[in-house]
Structure 1
Amino acid sequence: MRILIVAMGLAFLAGCVSPADLERNEPTISATTLKDPKAYALCVFPKWQAARTDSAMAENSDGYRLWVAQSNMTDELLDIRKSGSGSAVTLKQRMAWSPGLGRSAIEKAARDCL
């Protein structure tokens, strides 16, 4: 019974997770690449879409942001920012330890495109 109560409590705490909430998490990947932000984003995004159809991408003032979200919860957040002669890349995940749908493909795409 205690396990059920704990599990339900965690589910309620997980509730709504916005990109801003994920920004407080430690990064799963923090790296640099020689690719400019657009080239890196265009490498990663099709792979994310293949893994999770709920992937999205937006351009911002200093690069790109990719995310995967469903049911008011952002699961993955990839920030790509212009840095020197390339890009700084940061992947943050809602529950990095949890094996979610497409999670390994999302992380692999971010690493493979570096």
Structure 2
Amino acid sequence: MRIVALGLAVALLSGCTTPSDLLRGAPELSATTKKSPKAYALCVFPAWQDYRSSSIMSETTDGYRVVAGSEMNGQTDDVLDIKLNSTGSAVKLYQRMAWQQVGRSELRKSFNSCL
């Protein structure tokens, strides 16, 4: 019985995706804006909260990061990385299962409208 439980636990944990995992891949969208990282993050964050009320916005050493994930399975589904550059901000959207856009259209819309 322990072996079955251990196998199930390993299978469940191996599917977890963290923000760092997503940031290692290629972004789904990337752009630059003249806005500061904080101004851009504050602009997009309401759409992320509407998408998932548990979305988190945090300050990083060189900008801001907005993260949305599923509380049920511990997956990080979307990460918006906003970094200060010489003209304003470089913005990159990373998505797990990017092909599945059901309910995510507002994230992409806010990405573009806040530029």
Q: Deviations over 1:49-106 (max 9, x none)?
A: 1222121110011100001011210000000000112000000000110134x31111
Are the equivalent residues in 2 in contact too, given 1:35–1:87 (CA < 8 A)?
A: yes
Match of 1:113 in 2: 114
Q: CA deviation at 1:13?
A: 8.9
Match of 2:91 in 1: 89
In the comparison of the two structures, how many residue pairs are matched?
Answer: 103
Q: CA RMSD in A?
A: 1.8
Match of 1:32 in 2: 32
Structure 1 residues 14, 93: CA separation in 2 closer, same or farther (over 3 Å shift)?
Answer: farther
Q: Highest CA radius of gyration, 1 or 2?
A: 2
TM-score, normalised to structure 2, is 0.82
Structure 1 residues 46, 58: CA separation in 2 closer, same or farther (over 3 Å shift)?
Answer: same
Identify unmatched segments of 5+ residues in structure 1.
1-10
Q: CA deviation at 1:14?
A: 7.3
Match of 2:79 in 1: 77
Match of 1:57 in 2: 57
Taking the aligned partners of 1:112 and 1:13, their CA distance within structure 2 comes to 36
Are the equivalent residues in 2 in contact too, given 1:25–1:93 (CA < 8 A)?
A: no
Match of 2:17 in 1: 17
Identify unmatched segments of 5+ residues in structure 2.
1-10
Match of 1:3 in 2: none
Structure 1 segments of 4+ aligned residues over 2 angstroms from their partners: 11-14
Are the equivalent residues in 1 in contact too, given 2:31–2:90 (CA < 8 A)?
A: yes
The DSSP-based 3-state class of the residue aligned with 1:96 is coil
Are the equivalent residues in 2 in contact too, given 1:56–1:67 (CA < 8 A)?
A: yes
The DSSP-based 3-state class of the residue aligned with 1:99 is coil
- What residue identity is the alignment partner of 1:98? Q
The DSSP-based 3-state class of the residue aligned with 1:111 is helix
Match of 2:43 in 1: 43
